[in-house]
Chain A
Amino acid sequence: MNKFFIQKLIRQHTKLTRNHLTPELCLRLITPDCLLWNASPDRSPFDDPFWAFFWPGGQVLTRYILDNPKLFYKTTVLDVGSGCGSTALAAKLVGASRVVANDIDPVAEVAIEINMEANALQVTTDTSNRLSSSLDEQFDFILIGDMFYDPLFTDLIATWLQRHKNASVLIGDPGRYSFKNHPIQKQLEHVAEYVLPRTCQIENNGLTTGNIWLLKNDR
């Protein structure tokens, strides 16, 4: 699909909304006002449109950044599994100097670009698989918003993070099974807890809060 067509499709099936934990940002998402909200997944023109939802772990991590602007001012930030790009955009909004929004889904990249425009913010998008090898660039922060939903993928990220402890790794997670029961828990320091807004709770049945964790580094 060409980019122009994807842009059109995204605009057609999503709505700009501030009805989430970080109203400072305006994001294109599939909301209850969209036709797809009540549709079955086979009616979706996108394969797994994970970028079209503001995941609870992403919401709390984005909130944390906006609540702690000084921490991120003039820093370099890598947002892995960026989705709609909210976490990367928040880092940029509070003054990070270089922000990379990484997501292997090319449709997510287009969605992030649309969201950049909606918020008049500029971040670098990137669709390479960063988890396949060690980073060749040093970042002050590596941000992981709600990536621990699947046990195999959790192992993959946890292993990869061990090699990047020279950065401050911040994780946002709503208490997913694969994360709660992973050995990486021993290396985490609890940073903050947020109650998820009702809008987020109804699209994530069973989840009501989200937490921020810092991966303890060896330095």
Chain B
Amino acid sequence: MSGLRVLVGCKRVIDYAVKIRVKPDKTGVVTDGVKHSMNPFDEIAVEEAVRMKEKKIVSEVVAVSCGPAQCQEILRTAMAMGADRAIHVEVDAKNYDTMLPLHVAKILSKIAQEEKADIVFTGKQAIDDDANQTAQMVAGILNWPQATFASKIEKVDGNLKVTREIDGGLETISVKLPAVISSDLRLNEPRYATLPNIMKAKKKPLVKKTPKDYGVELTSTQQVLKVDEPLTRQAGSKLGSVEELVQKLRDAGLVPS
């Protein structure tokens, strides 16, 4: 098989439709009993990798997730979408609380080397911490070219031609392989997994590892001081006429009297 091998990072996050609540002691957000799913940007990365496989550019898609046991559900979803196999790097709840993008980047880099991956693919950011760091750090650690915020990917000769979403427009770059890519929202629309795909994904190989297996220590260099909810907007009031509005604005000193 001459096709490429792609490693896709899949983070388990609180589902995008869930209303986030901050813990009363302000140490974080409530996660117990809350619906989780795959980070939507990672889902886009999985979808793109599978499409590249369907186009025979890629021969193998490996999904990776770091976190608690429930991450396996996320990996099963990735395999139902078409990933060939999965690696679960298990991190217990206590360590997971202080895990940083740098740890994940170190683990992904190590796996990429062990698996001889040609592409490391992640979402541009996770919707929980919005860090937007993992892909860039992987590129840094491996010293591979990076194409972040991808909205279109083509294989031209031996390289990847990637269209990136940047401030004020699009930038098209060519990167040599191996490379790191992060997906932006408009790259594609991920498919839904149907029963036959979910059923068959149950039989696909999923191996369990630990950060230690990759020589990564999860010591945190950061300390969370507190987590606050966004300020709630104060209630407004309804006014009867334009005169009343102007008077109010004058009273507040917002228009000259």
> Are the C-beta atoms of B1 and A53 separated by less than 8 Å?
no
User: Are A53 and B194 also in contact (CB < 8 A) when A176-B84, A177-B60, A177-B204 are?
Assistant: no
Q: CA separation between A24 and B1, bound complex, in Å?
A: 33
> Are the C-beta atoms of B82 and A205 separated by less than 8 Å?
yes
Contact with B along A180-191 (1 / 0, CB 8 A): 100000000000
B195's partner among A41, A149, A175 (CB-CB below 8 A) is A41
Q: CA separation between A79 and B193, bound complex, in Å?
A: 29
- Residue A197 interfacial (CB < 8 Å): no
Q: CA separation between A48 and B196, bound complex, in Å?
A: 10
> Are the C-beta atoms of A206 and B83 separated by less than 8 Å?
yes
> Are the C-beta atoms of B199 and A50 separated by less than 8 Å?
yes
Please report the total number of A residues contacting B with Cβ < 8 Å.
Answer: 30
Distance of A105 from chain B, by nearest CB (Å): 13
Q: Which of A4-12, A32-40, A96-104, A135-143 faces chain B?
A: A32-40
> Are the C-beta atoms of B199 and A41 separated by less than 8 Å?
yes
> Are the C-beta atoms of A206 and B199 separated by less than 8 Å?
no
> Are the C-beta atoms of A203 and B198 separated by less than 8 Å?
no
> Are the C-beta atoms of B196 and A206 separated by less than 8 Å?
no
Which chain A residues lie closer than 8 Å to B1 at the CB level?
A: 175, 180
Distance of A152 from chain B, by nearest CB (Å): 9
B50's partner among A38, A55, A149, A206 (CB-CB below 8 A) is A206
> Are the C-beta atoms of B84 and A203 separated by less than 8 Å?
no
Q: CA separation between A206 and B59, bound complex, in Å?
A: 9
User: Are A208 and B205 also in contact (CB < 8 A) when A37-B194, A38-B194 are?
Assistant: no
> Are the C-beta atoms of B203 and A150 separated by less than 8 Å?
yes
Q: CA separation between A37 and B195, bound complex, in Å?
A: 5
> Are the C-beta atoms of B199 and A205 separated by less than 8 Å?
no
- Residue A159 interfacial (CB < 8 Å): no
25 chain-A/chain-B pairs, Cβ below 8 angstroms: A30-B195, A37-B194, A37-B196, A38-B195, A41-B198, A41-B199, A50-B199, A55-B200, A149-B204, A150-B203, A150-B205, A175-B1, A177-B60, A177-B205, A201-B54, A202-B194, A203-B196, A205-B50, A205-B80, A205-B81, A205-B82, A206-B54, A206-B82, A207-B82, A208-B56
Other A-B pairs, 9, CB within 8 Å; known A37-B195, A203-B194: A30-B195, A40-B195, A41-B199, A48-B199, A150-B203, A175-B1, A205-B82, A205-B197, A208-B56
State the A residues within 8 Å of B (CB). Answer: 30, 32, 36-41, 44, 48-50, 53, 55, 149-151, 175-178, 180, 201-208
